[in-house]
Chains A and B, each alone.
Chain A
Amino acid sequence: MIAATVGEIEGRLVEYLAGKLPEATSIRLEGLIRPSVGWSHEIWLFDAVWEQDGDVRSRGLCLRIDRGNTLLREHSSLAEQYRVLECLDATPVPTPTPFALEEDPGIIGAPFLIMDKAAGVCPSPWSREGKAFYAEAAARGGLPHSFTQTLAELHNLDWRAAGLDFLGVPGPGPDFACREVAKWRTLIESSGLEMDPVLVDLICTLEKDPPHTDRHVLVHGAYRTGNLMIAEDRVSAVLDWELQVIGDPMYDVAYVLSELNKEGSDLLSLVVDKHQFIEEYQELTGLTVDEEICHYYQLLYDMRVIAFWMSASGLFFSGQSSDLRLARTAWSIPVVLGQAARDLGY
């Protein structure tokens, strides 16, 4: 589906915002841009500026549009993302403030949500500039600590009190891991692409011996630089609430420890030393990092990444999307299969 033009978005948004800000007049949008981030939804950033009570006011906002062709397919829900943001708004976990959820596609052509722009920057860890940014921040020392502390805050959260049990609570033992494997298997099968033998090997291995967990926390699912707003060497907001689940904290820890997120750096997520992270995380949460269980979840992440790329390229090659970034992912599949094979020991 072709993305909306700037003019189309702008006109419809001004009208929509007028309904949400009844005391505002002369609403206009400034700096409306569509950054090249986000694989799941169409993202636009802008400042809403208006007059109210004789003053000029503004609010930085982020718009996420669900065009119905997200690579996560039925596993992605704007409504769920919005509800998670609402639940987390009153907690110590730093997240963007939710502004509006609109499920009526008649407003701008598809359902969307709007949230406040969070303070700070979120450099891409895959860019030269991003790598330099994180290297310098790591050297200053504040961000490594904030990175770990924010994850600990997330895992220490009383998710039931925050109203997050609507996400679904896994049963005891291996239920969480089994659910995750089944989820990504569904995504792989919906891509319409044939499974590689290495992927078959990976899935069979994962289904054979899932880990047991006694403690369930709010798991972000993609906790890394590139999904964190950074302001003054601190995490100002955790972004990308699409993959969250109630589950095993080692799932997030494994993601942090993953080679896939080091981008050639010696530091986890380009910012924190492994030993420093483990020591501080254990101290702040009271949990023990189990590297054997983390290895299982590393294999599961390999499966998940392959599922993403198969889904993405499947959307392009089936004609459901014209986004060339999705086509590009077809060539990433063998790379992750290679990583999976190495993680399986060959």
Chain B
Amino acid sequence: MPADESELPDASLLGFVDPSEILRRVARSLREEVGPKVEADYSRTQAFMAAVILEQLAFQVRSVTFEVGPAESSTLVNKVSRALGPDVPTKLATALRGLSGAMTRTELSGLVAALHGSEGEIDTERLQRALEHVRATMRLRLDQQLAVLA
């Protein structure tokens, strides 16, 4: 038994089938061989759902991570700061200063919430422009996720 993960064999180097391909084959078996032969309605549905889930997992073996990379994050913070202008409420300014390096999902959510929470304290047009920059980043992330799922 390997002592740690570094000792685990690289499946591709050993010539094994790609794990995602394994998942797809299992999914195909469930869909074509198992599901159609199950008589009970509920159990048959479970078999087909298992196939769907395995197919999704097959794609996610090579999925995109959520994180907004350091360069993209820095660009976004700069754009948002320029859109907001000089008079930024303390809470929002603190939230922006705290974003350095790659941005996690939690940090991006926090930025969205902080922008919405500043309504009334910042000029509406500036706030809307700032939000549009953040939304462009969120759209990009969504499109990447949806491309994996398609």
Chain A positions within 8 Å of B, measured between CB atoms, are: 3, 33-36, 194-198, 200-201, 204-205, 208, 323-325, 327-328, 331, 334-335, 337-338, 341, 344-346
Contacts and interface: CB of A to CB of B under 8 A. Distances in A.
Contact of B112 (A201, A325, A334, A335): A201
Nearest to A202: B112
Interface residues of B, number: 34
B139 A341 contact: yes
Given A33-B41, A208-B116, A334-B145, A328 B49 contact: yes
Interface string B132-145: 10111011011101
Interface in B116-150: 116-117, 119, 131-132, 134-136, 138-139, 141-143, 145-146, 149
B105 A338 contact: no
Contacts of A198: 138, 142
B42 interface: yes
Contacts of B106: 194
A35 B141 CA distance: 37
Main secondary structure of the interface of B (DSSP, over half): helix
Nearest to A344: B135
Contacts of A201: 112, 116, 131, 134-135, 138
5 contacts: A3-B42, A198-B138, A327-B49, A331-B52, A345-B135
B53 interface: yes
A346 B132 contact: yes
A334 B146 contact: yes
B50 interface: yes
A36 B142 contact: no
Contacts of A323: 46
A151 B118 CA distance: 41
Contacts of B112: 197, 200-201, 204
A234 to B, nearest CB: 27
B113 interface: yes
Contacts of A331: 52-53, 56, 149
